Amino acid sequence: MRKLLTLFTVLVLSSMLLSACGGGAATEPAPAETTAPEPQPVEPTEAPGTTEGPAPAAQGGGILEGVKARGKLICGGRTDLAGFGMLDDAGNNIGFDIDLCRAVAAAVLGDPEAIEVVPLTAADRGPALQTAEVDMLSRNVTWTASRDAQWGNFTIVMFYDGQGFMIRKDSGITSTDEFDGATVCVTSGTTTEQNLADFFRQRGMTYEAVIFEETAAVYSAYEEGRCDITTSDKSQLASVRSGFADPEAHTILDITISKEPLTPAVPHGDDAWFDTVKIVMFALINAEELGVTQANVEEMKSSDNINVLRLLGQEGDWGYTDLGLEADALANAIAAVGNYGEIYDRYMGPEGIAFTLPRGPNELWSNGGVLYAPPVK
């Protein structure tokens, strides 16, 4: 008798499971009806259970629709690098990279605050972009051919950087020729790591690499003396040094061993979104060139410069109808974060909050730099 009872229970339970499973495998019409207005309207092809979190994914386009429906832009960034992505005293995420996201949010949603920054480690950012967990990756990512092929679409170089070395002043090293046998602290999953290996291999010198995933761990190990040298993009070294207990005790060698074009990227598979983010970046650079600033963007709307009128959506169509944006989208972006020069100076200029770094190649092409954006018209 008891056996029969157990058997019966098992049967009932398994049939319940079966029906639950059957419901899950089908496209689940019932819950979709009851909660119709709330969830993502995109991709009816996938069962709700299969998408992971905030991922209105890459297939069939629709990132823009996803962002609009969600009401905010999900931006892969960081919180641990002064100048690029950091937290201010009030706990807000600020920085050069974050401002680029805010510009896109302002252009697309009309609200620069409508972003959600997902902090990513260097090793996590690739997969996050590949799986379209983020709408946009702005986390000082070096644009390389293999990443372009594997990770996503790279928009336009927003920061021209190069890898350098930081050493202690009292170490007595003056040039890279004296590096043989040194210990080097480096972040894992970066181009830096590869460049470092190439650099020493090319010169036939030996070294000991000490490798961490967290940027903070790399520099605290260096500061504690675990390493003789630490290496990264020069902007990052300048940024980190500003946070050391004694910045003056460290020096960044005057040598650049690589090209590091730091570039915001978007997931593969959505051309319209790719174009949108690119054009916002063009606009920030063009705005500086045309003298449009955060402060004067309203009065510039009645400027007598035709290029300014086009940039701000006052005359002609720079493509907004095709992309599904408002005419003043770029004006909103500039009003939110300012032009390229203003963003740069806010964090890294002479009066910058984080540190001071000469603009160097990041000057406009007309000022002797290499910053050059296609016209917005």
Contact footprint for another protein (CB under 8 A) = 3-4, 7, 10-11, 14-15, 17-18, 21, 25, 46-47, 50, 57-59, 122-123, 125-127, 130-132, 146-147, 150-151, 180-183, 186, 188-190, 193-194, 196-198, 201, 207-214, 217, 220-221, 224-226, 228, 268-269
Q: Pick from 251, 232, 259: which is nearest to 361 by CA?
A: 259
Residue 310 neighbours by CB distance under 10 Å: 19
Identity of the amino acid at 120 = L
How many angstroms separate the CA atoms of 343 and 102, rounded?
11
Cβ atoms of 96 and 269 closer than 8 Å: no
Q: How far is the CB of 209 from another protein (least distance, A)?
A: 4
Q: Which pair of tokens denotes residue 4?
A: 């029969």
Identity of the amino acid at 307 = N
Residue 36 neighbours by CB distance under 10 Å: 9
Q: How far is the CB of 13 from another protein (least distance, A)?
A: 10
How many angstroms separate the CA atoms of 249 and 225, rounded?
12
Q: How far is the CB of 320 from another protein (least distance, A)?
A: 29
Q: How far is the CB of 65 from another protein (least distance, A)?
A: 17
Instruction: Output 166 or 285, the one with its CB closest to another protein.
Output: 166
Instruction: Output 184 or 336, the one with its CB closest to another protein.
Output: 184
Instruction: Output 132 or 283, the one with its CB closest to another protein.
Output: 132
Q: How far is the CB of 57 from another protein (least distance, A)?
A: 6
Q: How far is the CB of 135 from another protein (least distance, A)?
A: 14
Instruction: Output 21 or 295, the one with its CB closest to another protein.
Output: 21
CA 127 to chain centre: 13
How many angstroms separate the CA atoms of 219 and 318, rounded?
45
Instruction: Output 107 or 173, the one with its CB closest to another protein.
Output: 173
How many angstroms separate the CA atoms of 230 and 332, rounded?
40
Q: How far is the CB of 318 from another protein (least distance, A)?
A: 30
Give CA torsion, residues 233, 238, 244, 249, to 10 deg: 110
Q: Pick from 265, 285, 288: which is nearest to 277 by CA?
A: 265
Instruction: Output 125 or 346, the one with its CB closest to another protein.
Output: 125
How many angstroms separate the CA atoms of 198 and 182, rounded?
15
How many angstroms separate the CA atoms of 71 and 109, rounded?
7
Cβ atoms of 83 and 96 closer than 8 Å: yes
Q: Report angle CA 64, 129, 118 to the nearest 5 degrees.
A: 85
Q: How far is the CB of 224 from another protein (least distance, A)?
A: 5
Q: How far is the CB of 45 from another protein (least distance, A)?
A: 9
Distances in Å between the Cα of 77 and the Cα atoms of 1, 128, 136, 241, 332 are 63, 11, 9, 21, 22
Cβ atoms of 150 and 276 closer than 8 Å: no
Q: How far is the CB of 94 from another protein (least distance, A)?
A: 26
> Maximum CA pair distance of the chain?
94
How many angstroms separate the CA atoms of 197 and 179, rounded?
13
